[in-house]
Structure 1
Amino acid sequence: MTGAALAVVLGAAGLVAVTAPAAYAATPSDEVAKLPISSFGAMVVDDAHERVYVTDGRMSGSGASSVLVYNFEGQRVGTLATDQPASGMALSADGATLHVSQSNRILAFDTATQTRTSAAGTPYDATCGREVAVAGGKTWFTETPYSGSSYCDRPENVALLYGVSGTTSVNTGWNSEGRLKLESGPGAPDRLVMGQAGAGSAANAFVTTFDASGDTLVRGPQRRFADAEGKGALDLKDIAQSADGKRIAVADAAYGTRLLDAADLADAPVGYQPLPAGAKASAVAFSGDGKYVARGAAAAGSTSDLLIQPADPTDGATPIEFAFDGELDGSRVVPRGLDWSKDGSRLFAVTSDGVYGHWLHVIKPPAAQYDSRFTGTLSTTPAKPVVGEPLGIRGKLELDGPAPAEPVKVEAVRKDSDGTTEVAPAKVAADGGFTVLDVPDRLGEATYTLRFLGDVTHRPAEDVTLTVDVAKAATAIELTAPAEATRAGGVEITGKLTGQGRALPAGSALKVTRTDRFGTTGELTSASVAADGTFRIKDLPNKRGRTVYAVSYEGDDLHSGSSAEATVRVIS
């Protein structure tokens, strides 16, 4: 998370400002589509036809598959059929052709008619997936000549670079180990950027460029990143070229976002600020209008998974930050999972839950963001929390700038002896008030952390915490006894045991004592409580005069004890 950790107590209620969450969650104004895929291959944005193409990058199995097609509102509008699983994709410079890699061919589709127009054979029928890029008016693709997904990421694998000529593939002669990633861009249409990935933690991976304007590739500058001690090696997840072609950004999971000078691959004079602590870079993309850069990451909890900021690193504007942390949003940006519309009005992001779920987000970056903050002190209702009873935590959230289009929510988690539990979020009223509702189920100390992750126009607020001591639930005994009785007729007392919180267990035993007018106390047979809490006591007193019956409940793990007395005058 960004920002310094704070520990400032604001009043007796225990409101404490802690490390600020560095991101805001996706909101209803962001379109989100659940993708019917269990893995991710590639995403391509077609501005001319306002379509987004997605492949699942499946690296095992065979048989017919498809490219998923979405519109700019995140609605699925079609598919492009492939004969085998599809992985990499690239759009031609004029946007008229979509090149798609399936396991045994490079297919071409007309983007206007959505029909297949040609297919170029590949040297291997591979299941490891391919990267595809278009540079210098030609199509290029990577090749890992292994079948079977268990071999795909072996660091000693041979990785090859091929070009497409008509309906055949041509080996460029450039080889590597592990895997290769390719990138091209409109800012430098004749430049192909290639980076080494998946070559093992001990390898000193490279990034290099090629001039693709001629018949053969001409290699330009290259760079490796480890120092003399082997530290700092590249862990490549994504590559992007700036809109003007002067900069190359690299998503390096071991370092963050590297910004390089395209001319020599040296570090740019000014780089981007570090990603939030704990976030590992996974994706990077420049908007086509040159204004923005988006940086994706894999991060836990409310730590940022996505930052959107000016492409110029010298611009001091605060990044717009997103946290994806939910069953309906995913929890991280996948490698190579970012792309922009050409005018920069939309960012498309693919997120994953780290298992099988994937989502497509259509994000419209706002022109500005405003601050938010929790104010005052938190209070609870009731003042003394009780296990098993509803607890309301009341507070206030201030939002600068325009009011949100829809009510925002405050999220909360409870940490107690049983671990950390998510609490249902609370809507914030127009005046900023909110009440988080919970039912604590453990005795002792419980700490609630409240957070506002922001919305499209508001930055996140600093988290606040409230620590409470959860007590046992109270119980009470009610007795109904006669004012007078006889020794012969006996005494009958009825009663009821009630309690807050969770239901009292049926069959609980109540202790019953009798004290006569001489002060002699004796214990009677215990009374058993029925399911509805009622009980009955019968006694044959042996002394006349004032007699006191005392009934007590010793309590249980979740309930405190209680007692009650009834006085009966024994007249004969």
Structure 2
Amino acid sequence: MTGAALAVALGSTGLVAVGTPAAYAVTPSDEVAKLPIASFGAMVVDDAHERVYVTDGRRSSGESAVLVYNFQGQRVGSLPTDQPVSGMALSADGATLHVSQSHRMLTFDTATQTRSGASFVPYDVTCGRDVAVAGGKTWFTETPYNDPYCDRPDNIASLYGVSGTSHVNTGWQSQGRLKLAAGPGAPDRLVVGQAAAGADANPFLTTYDASGETLVRGPQRRFADAEGKGALDLKDIAQSADGKRIAVADGAYGTRLLDASDLSDAAAAYQPLPDGAKSTAVAFSGDGTYVARGAAASGSTPDLLIQPADPANGTTPLEFAFEGELDGLRVAPRGLGWSKDGTRLFAVTSNGNGGLWLHVIKPPAAQHDSRFTGALGTTPAKPVVGEPLGIRGRLELDGPAPAEPVKVTAVRKDADGTQEVAAAKVAADGTFTVLDVPDRLGEATYTLRFLGDVTHRPAEDVTVTVDVAKAPTAVELTAPAEATRTGGVEITGKLTGQGRALPSGIGLKVTRTDRFGTTGELTSASVAADGAFRVRDLPSKRGKTVYEVSYAGDALHSGSSARATVKITG
């Protein structure tokens, strides 16, 4: 996929995202087709015949068509219509495609790709419809055709059913447009959401039992709190493969995962979308393996996440950032659909200026295990504050070798809290070295993590604890072998230290011990910025004299000292 970026993101359960993931090349199995339309209506995936149907969302009149693509992203035909089409839905057996027009609901035989029937329905010229099949019946929405401002919250939207060549008014209405969803995991459940609310600005989500002759409403929920915050900004709805969960793409919140039985928040939630990404679409794969979450984001911020449908699964999501002229810039609202077996995700992207693309993305068929092996080692064996510390280890990856080097991430926990450590690339033989510069004395625990990649599951974390010591210092002296009492003694030297720079204004302690064992302290020696210092003395006694220069150390450096012996004559 030209111009898109695939990134490995943090996804292990219980872990905190501590940095921006590194970007990797996109798998070449992704295919893309430029759609010959300037607006997007709906997309339906037909597994039985390996077809993808796409409608134009334009609001006008005249001949139109449903675009037909195969599972390789190639256009293979069209289903002609005499008026623009909007919403679509596939029958439970996949034999019939239901397509809405401004005044009719058309049906097409998916095997022969020919029109098989039509039902007359209330006019909806400009706003388009949502269509869903639940309880073996077709349901659709209608917004007043004579109002060109389709998203006005004071519009009265109605819910209808198809009956033979006509329609049935269910009696259910709401202010603002409605969105519908149904799925094979709960074939009798119809999910209805309010895309825009009236004066209360608190849209609802509800479900209906469509198994009988009339709809029976189930649980409903509004999301704003007592202060009016957190209201639903509905973009898309999806039901899980087993029917137990409902996912909602909320433009203000992100991806909401709900318990289908009462619409309460699911026990485990998906991690938030990346900063700056606004939710636009959500879809579950038919085999229950994956969930895809689409978004609108700018630049390299991901617009699409593909991850396990179970939010408790720690497998790292795949992240796609659409930012190229040949790919689109964001996932279109309701622009995601899966093949039933979860081997292909179909995504419609938009550039916001009338450009639309159909992507065929193939998640990995299987993911393999990974693990850290052997004990972690450190270099140096005794780390010091302010000096580089290397943590060495080995990572084993089952299955195929990664196309790009994977990375091991790490965090350091010490008395100051938890700090991210730069990630390290893993060599072809599995070895790696994480580098850090500890900045505090005492115990530090490093936790190393492999968060998975396209084909590998995350590894179980490993830890190593080290005791960070003060950085060593050294005093070097240059002294004459002999000197006279009258000429005096001059000793030069240098103070050096590892780790952080030594503080300025250091004064070194200087002592002199004569041949009689008498020790006296001399004037301290001042250390220059480059560590150099000088000691001058006029000794009073002849014979062997020992000069000692010492540094007491500081909060981050240990002390050190050096001696020089000078023979005093004359």
CA gap of 1:406–1:30, structure 2 versus 1, over 3 A, is: farther
**1:356 aligned residue:** 354
Instruction: Give the drift of 1:201.
Output: 9.2
Instruction: Give the drift of 1:26.
Output: 4.7
**1:302 aligned residue:** 300
**1:541 aligned residue:** none
The yes-or-no answer on 1:263 pairing with 2:238 is no
Alignment of 1:423-438 (within 5 A): none
- Matched residue SS, 1:151: coil
The yes-or-no answer on 1:176 pairing with 2:145 is no
> Which amino acid in 1 is paired with 2:137?
K
Q: Give percent identity, aligned residues only.
A: 80
Which 4+ stretches in 1 moved above 2 angstroms? Answer: 18-29, 198-202, 367-371, 400-407, 454-459
**2:551 aligned residue:** none
**2:35 aligned residue:** 35
TM-score, normalised relative to structure 2: 0.62
- Work out the CA distance in 2 between the residues paired with 1:33 and 1:128: 27
Deviations 1:76-130 (A, max 9, x none): 0000001100100000001000000011111000000000011111111422000
> Which amino acid in 2 is paired with 1:110?
D
Given that 1:349 and 1:362 are in contact with CA atoms closer than 8 Å, whether structure 2 keeps it comes out as yes
Given that 2:238 and 2:248 are in contact with CA atoms closer than 8 Å, whether structure 1 keeps it comes out as yes
Alignment of 1:455-474 (within 5 A): none
CA gap of 1:169–1:204, structure 2 versus 1, over 3 A, is: same
Deviations 1:491-546 (A, max 9, x none): xxxxxxxxxxxxxxxxxxxxxxxxxxxxxxxxxxxxxxxxxxxxxxxxxxxxxxxx
Alignment of 1:94-133 (within 5 A): 94-133=93-132
**1:212 aligned residue:** 210
Residue number among 336, 339, 345 corresponding to 2:337 in the alignment: 339
Instruction: Give the drift of 1:19.
Output: 5.4
Alignment of 1:65-76 (within 5 A): 65-76=64-75
**2:47 aligned residue:** 47
The yes-or-no answer on 1:158 pairing with 2:161 is no
**1:562 aligned residue:** none
Given that 1:156 and 1:177 are in contact with CA atoms closer than 8 Å, whether structure 2 keeps it comes out as yes
Given that 1:104 and 1:122 are in contact with CA atoms closer than 8 Å, whether structure 2 keeps it comes out as yes
**1:288 aligned residue:** 286
- Work out the CA distance in 2 between the residues paired with 1:324 and 1:112: 34
Given that 1:239 and 1:251 are in contact with CA atoms closer than 8 Å, whether structure 2 keeps it comes out as yes
- Work out the CA distance in 1 between the residues paired with 2:368 and 2:126: 44
CA gap of 1:27–1:315, structure 2 versus 1, over 3 A, is: closer
CA gap of 1:24–1:121, structure 2 versus 1, over 3 A, is: farther
Given that 2:367 and 2:454 are in contact with CA atoms closer than 8 Å, whether structure 1 keeps it comes out as no
- Work out the CA distance in 2 between the residues paired with 1:111 and 1:271: 37
CA gap of 1:248–1:361, structure 2 versus 1, over 3 A, is: same
CA gap of 1:125–1:293, structure 2 versus 1, over 3 A, is: closer
- Work out the CA distance in 2 between the residues paired with 1:159 and 1:305: 31
Given that 1:22 and 1:276 are in contact with CA atoms closer than 8 Å, whether structure 2 keeps it comes out as no
Given that 2:316 and 2:453 are in contact with CA atoms closer than 8 Å, whether structure 1 keeps it comes out as no
> Which amino acid in 2 is paired with 1:32?
V
Deviations 1:383-430 (A, max 9, x none): xxxxxxxxxxxxxxxxx99567799xxxxxxxxxxxxxxxxxxxxxx9
The yes-or-no answer on 1:92 pairing with 2:91 is yes
- Work out the CA distance in 2 between the residues paired with 1:265 and 1:23: 36
- Work out the CA distance in 2 between the residues paired with 1:369 and 1:178: 47
Instruction: Give the drift of 1:458.
Output: 9.6
Q: Where does the alignment leave 5 or more consecutive residues of structure 1 unmatched?
A: 4-17, 372-399, 408-429, 431-453, 460-572
- Matched residue SS, 1:141: strand
- Matched residue SS, 2:311: coil
Instruction: Give the drift of 1:147.
Output: 3.5
Given that 1:144 and 1:179 are in contact with CA atoms closer than 8 Å, whether structure 2 keeps it comes out as yes
CA gap of 1:54–1:73, structure 2 versus 1, over 3 A, is: same
Given that 1:21 and 1:302 are in contact with CA atoms closer than 8 Å, whether structure 2 keeps it comes out as no
Instruction: Give the drift of 1:20.
Output: 2.3
> Which amino acid in 2 is paired with 1:49?
H
- Work out the CA distance in 2 between the residues paired with 1:354 and 1:44: 22
Alignment of 1:399-548 (within 5 A): none
- Work out the CA distance in 2 between the residues paired with 1:238 and 1:264: 19
Instruction: Give the drift of 1:304.
Output: 1.1
> Which amino acid in 1 is paired with 2:20?
A
CA gap of 1:168–1:26, structure 2 versus 1, over 3 A, is: farther
The structure showing larger relative contact order (alpha-carbon pairs under 8 Å, at least 6 residues apart) is 1
CA gap of 1:304–1:108, structure 2 versus 1, over 3 A, is: same
**2:229 aligned residue:** 231
- Work out the CA distance in 1 between the residues paired with 2:129 and 2:234: 16
Deviations 1:131-158 (A, max 9, x none): 000000000000001246x411111111
- Work out the CA distance in 2 between the residues paired with 1:357 and 1:24: 26
Deviations 1:178-220 (A, max 9, x none): 1000000000000000000033796100000000000000000
**2:311 aligned residue:** 313
Given that 1:101 and 1:130 are in contact with CA atoms closer than 8 Å, whether structure 2 keeps it comes out as yes
- Work out the CA distance in 2 between the residues paired with 1:22 and 1:295: 20
CA gap of 1:256–1:403, structure 2 versus 1, over 3 A, is: same
> Which amino acid in 1 is paired with 2:52?
V
Given that 2:193 and 2:204 are in contact with CA atoms closer than 8 Å, whether structure 1 keeps it comes out as yes
CA gap of 1:370–1:40, structure 2 versus 1, over 3 A, is: farther
Given that 1:304 and 1:323 are in contact with CA atoms closer than 8 Å, whether structure 2 keeps it comes out as yes
TM-score, normalised relative to structure 1: 0.62
Given that 1:235 and 1:254 are in contact with CA atoms closer than 8 Å, whether structure 2 keeps it comes out as yes
How many residue pairs get aligned? The number is 375
Given that 1:23 and 1:304 are in contact with CA atoms closer than 8 Å, whether structure 2 keeps it comes out as no
Instruction: Give the drift of 1:236.
Output: 0.3
**2:379 aligned residue:** none
> Which amino acid in 2 is paired with 1:157?
N
Deviations 1:14-69 (A, max 9, x none): xxxx952576665532010000111111100000000000001112x201100000
Given that 1:369 and 1:457 are in contact with CA atoms closer than 8 Å, whether structure 2 keeps it comes out as yes
Given that 1:298 and 1:331 are in contact with CA atoms closer than 8 Å, whether structure 2 keeps it comes out as yes
- Work out the CA distance in 1 between the residues paired with 2:25 and 2:194: 33
Given that 1:23 and 1:302 are in contact with CA atoms closer than 8 Å, whether structure 2 keeps it comes out as no
Given that 1:26 and 1:455 are in contact with CA atoms closer than 8 Å, whether structure 2 keeps it comes out as no
The yes-or-no answer on 1:145 pairing with 2:136 is no
Instruction: Give the drift of 1:347.
Output: 0.5
The yes-or-no answer on 1:323 pairing with 2:313 is no
Given that 1:197 and 1:235 are in contact with CA atoms closer than 8 Å, whether structure 2 keeps it comes out as yes
For the pair shown, the structure with the greater C-alpha radius of gyration is 2
- Work out the CA distance in 2 between the residues paired with 1:171 and 1:22: 53
Deviations 1:261-291 (A, max 9, x none): 0000000111111111111111110110011
Q: Where does the alignment leave 5 or more consecutive residues of structure 2 unmatched?
A: 1-6, 11-17, 371-396, 406-427, 429-451, 458-570
CA gap of 1:140–1:25, structure 2 versus 1, over 3 A, is: farther
Given that 1:194 and 1:207 are in contact with CA atoms closer than 8 Å, whether structure 2 keeps it comes out as yes
Instruction: Give the drift of 1:320.
Output: 1.1
CA gap of 1:302–1:121, structure 2 versus 1, over 3 A, is: same
Instruction: Give the drift of 1:302.
Output: 1.0
Given that 1:88 and 1:130 are in contact with CA atoms closer than 8 Å, whether structure 2 keeps it comes out as yes
The yes-or-no answer on 1:58 pairing with 2:58 is yes
Given that 2:124 and 2:142 are in contact with CA atoms closer than 8 Å, whether structure 1 keeps it comes out as no
**2:558 aligned residue:** none
- Matched residue SS, 1:277: coil
Given that 1:104 and 1:121 are in contact with CA atoms closer than 8 Å, whether structure 2 keeps it comes out as yes
- Work out the CA distance in 2 between the residues paired with 1:102 and 1:62: 10
